[in-house]
C-alpha cells in the first residue's frame, strides 16, 4: 500500500503542517505502508521529500519545504503523479493531505484528487470548503437546527459599496464582538473588539486575510470545549472532550496562545457534568453530519455556565501532532497515534472517490 503524504502548502500554516508530517512519518506503520512524502512549497511547487528528520522545529527555526525533485500532478486518472517526467509515483493508492488552511483544507486539493480518482484521507470537496468558510459553516449549522451565536457576514462587495449598512448590522450585536476573516485559521486576522470606535480598523485588518468577513457576538464567560470525531468502520464516533484554558494575559485563544509556549492549557479529559458532556458529543456528531464531513474533524464549542452549548466551528484537518488536541482526545479514548493514522487511511480506502 503506497501512501503519499502531502504537506506544507501555500497557507500561513505551512510550517505547522511540516511539523505534523514529520510526526506522521515517524509514527506510520512501515510494515503496512510505503510512504512517499511530498512537500508543497509556499509558492505551490510540489517536491519529493525524504525522511522526517528535517520536519521539526529545531532551535526555534520553523521547518519549510524548499528543495527536492519536482513532482508533477495531473488530474488524469491512472497515472496522475510523476516525478521529473518519469513515472515512479504512479502507483499511489491513497493520499494523506496533511494541509491546513486555504489551498489544502478548503476543498481545492480534494477536488484535484477527485479528478484524478485517488482516494484521500478526510472530508471531500463540499465539507472541506464549507468548513473553511465560517459564513457557510454557520448557515449549515443553523439549517440543521444546531445552536449558533449571533453573527453578521460582510461580503467584499457590501464593504466596498455599502459600508454603512454593514456597520449598522454589526452595531446591533452586543460588545465585545469577534471580527474574523471568513476563511482563515489559527486565529490569524481575528480581533476582539470592545469599543465601537475600533470596529472599522478590525474589519480592515480581517480583510487583509480574506475580503469576506464575519463578525460574531462574543460569548461571555464560556468554557472552550473540543470534541474529536473519527470515522471507524464507516461510523462516526465522538471522543472524550478536551478543554482549552487560556492564560490570563491573553483575552482569547489567539495565535500566540495557540503556538507559543505556555499560552494555554489543554485539559484532557475536560471536567463536565455527564449530561453536558453527552450533549456536546451528540452535537459534535450532528455538526459533522450537517457538513457531510468524512474521516475526521474536530468540533469546537462554547459551553455556558448553565450547561448551554454553542457550536463555534468544525476543523476538517485539525492540528495533528501527537500533542495536538485531536490525537490527545483519541489517545484518551483508547486510540493511540499510530492506530489513528491507520484508521484514517483505512477509511479513505473504504470510501474511495466519486459521488458517495
Ligand X SMILES: Nc1ncnc2c1ncn2[C@@H]1O[C@H](COP(=O)(O)OP(=O)(O)O)[C@@H](O)[C@H]1O
- Write out the DSSP string of 250-267: -SSS-HHHHHSTTSEEEE
Residue 226 β-bridge partners? 242, 300
Give me the least distance between CB of 327 and ligand X, in Å please.
18
Q: Which is nearer to ligand X, 254 or 347 (CB)?
A: 254
Select 75 or 194, whichever has its Cβ closest to ligand X. 194
Q: Which helix (H) or strand (E) holds 32?
A: none
Taking the complex as a whole, the smallest distance from the CB of residue 278 to ligand X amounts, in Å, to: 23
If the CB atoms of residues 126 and 253 are measured against ligand X, the closer one turns out to be 253
- The closest residue (CB) to ligand X is 253
**Of 232 and 247, CB closest to ligand X:** 247
Closer CB to ligand X, residue 179 or residue 231?
179
Tell me the three cell numbers of residue 107. 476543498
Report the nearest approach of ligand X to the CB of residue 349 (Å).
Answer: 29
Angstrom distances, CA of residue 210 to CA of 96, 134, 155, 165, 237: 27, 11, 10, 20, 33
Nearer to ligand X, 77 or 308 (CB): 308
Q: What is d(CA 288, CA 318) in angstroms, rounded to the nearest whole number?
A: 13
Report in angstroms how near the CB of residue 245 gets to ligand X at its nearest: 11
Nearer to ligand X, 161 or 174 (CB): 174
Phi then psi for 236, rounded to 5 degrees? -65, 135
Query: Residue 84 and residue 162: Cα distance in Å, rounded?
Result: 51
**CA dist., res. 159 & res. 169, Å (int):** 12
Residues in the chain: 356
**Residue 98 or 299 having the CB closest to ligand X:** 299
In the chain, the N- to C-terminal Cα span, in Å, equals: 23
From 198, 190, 201, 204, select the one nearest 134 (Cα to Cα).
190
**CB of 160 vs ligand X, minimal distance in Å:** 24
CA distance 232 to 229: 10
Residues that bind ligand X (CB under 6 A): 149, 178, 180, 184-187, 190, 216, 218-219, 224, 252-253, 300, 312-313
Q: How far is the CB of 147 from ligand X (least distance, A)?
A: 12
| Alpha-carbon gap, residue 306 to 319, rounded angstroms | 29
Please, are residues 251 and 244 in contact by the beta-carbon 8 Å criterion?
no
Q: How far is the CB of 259 from ligand X (least distance, A)?
A: 12
Our measurement of the distance from residue 116's CA atom to the centroid of its chain's CA atoms, rounded to an integer in Å, reads 23
Whether the Cβ atoms of residue 242 and residue 266 lie closer than 8 Å to each other: yes
H or E element: which one contains 158?
helix 156-161
Instruction: Give min distance, CB of 143 to ligand X, in A.
Output: 19
Amino acid at each position: 500500500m503506497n501512501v503519499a503524504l502531502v504537506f506544507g502548502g501555500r497557507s500561513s500554516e505551512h510550517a505547522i503542517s511540516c511539523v505534523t508530517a514529520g510526526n506522521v512519518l515517524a509514527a506510520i506503520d512501515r510494515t503496512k505502508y510505503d510512504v512517499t512524502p511530498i512537500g508543497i512549497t509556499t509558492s505551490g511547487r510540489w517536491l519529493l521529500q525524504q525522511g522526517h528528520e528535517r520536519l521539526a522545529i529545531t532551535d526555534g527555526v520553523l521547518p519549510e519545504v524548499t528543495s527536492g525533485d519536482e513532482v508533477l500532478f495531473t488530474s488524469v486518472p491512472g497515472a496522475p503523479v510523476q516525478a521529473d517526467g518519469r513515472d515512479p509515483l504512479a502507483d499511489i493508492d491513497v493520499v494523506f493531505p496533511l494541509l491546513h488552511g486555504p489551498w489544502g483544507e478548503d476543498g481545492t486539493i480534494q477536488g484535484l484528487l477527485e479528478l484524478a480518482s485517488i482516494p484521500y484521507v478526510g472530508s471531500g470537496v463540499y465539507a472541506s470548503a464549507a468548513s473553511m468558510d465560517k459564513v457557510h459553516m454557520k448557515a449549515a449549522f443553523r439549517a440543521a437546527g444546531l445552536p449558533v451565536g449571533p453573527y453578521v457576514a460582510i461580503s467584499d462587495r457590501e464593504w466596498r459599496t455599502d459600508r454603512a449598512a454593514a456597520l449598522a448590522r454589526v452595531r446591533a450585536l452586543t460588545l465585545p464582538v469577534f471580527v474574523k476573516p471568513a476563511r482563515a485559521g489559527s486565529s490569524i486576522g481575528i480581533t476582539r473588539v470592545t469599543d465601537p470606535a475600533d470596529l472599522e480598523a478590525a474589519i480592515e485588518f480581517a480583510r487583509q486575510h480574506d475580503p469576506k468577513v464575519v463578525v460574531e457576538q462574543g460569548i461571555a464567560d464560556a468554557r472552550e470545549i473540543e470534541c474529536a470525531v473519527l470515522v471507524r468502520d464507516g461510523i462516526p464516533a465522538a471522543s472524550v472532550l478536551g478543554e482549552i484554558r487560556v492564560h490570563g494575559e491573553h483575552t482569547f485563544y489567539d495565535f500566540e496562545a495557540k503556538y507559543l509556549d505556555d499560552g494555554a492549557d489543554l485539559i484532557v479529559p475536560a471536567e463536565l457534568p455527564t449530561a453536558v458532556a453527552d450533549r456536546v458529543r451528540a452535537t459534535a456528531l450532528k455538526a459533522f453530519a450537517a457538513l457531510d464531513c468524512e474521516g475526521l474533524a474536530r468540533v469546537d464549542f462554547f459551553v455556558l455556565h448553565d450547561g448551554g452549548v454553542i457550536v463555534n466551528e468544525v476543523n476538517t484537518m485539525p492540528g495533528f501532532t501527537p500533542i495536538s488536541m485531536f490525537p490527545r482526545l483519541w489517545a484518551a479514548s483508547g486510540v493511540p497515534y499510530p492506530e489513528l493514522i491507520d484508521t484514517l487511511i483505512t477509511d479513505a480506502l473504504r470510501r474511495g472517490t466519486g459521488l458517495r
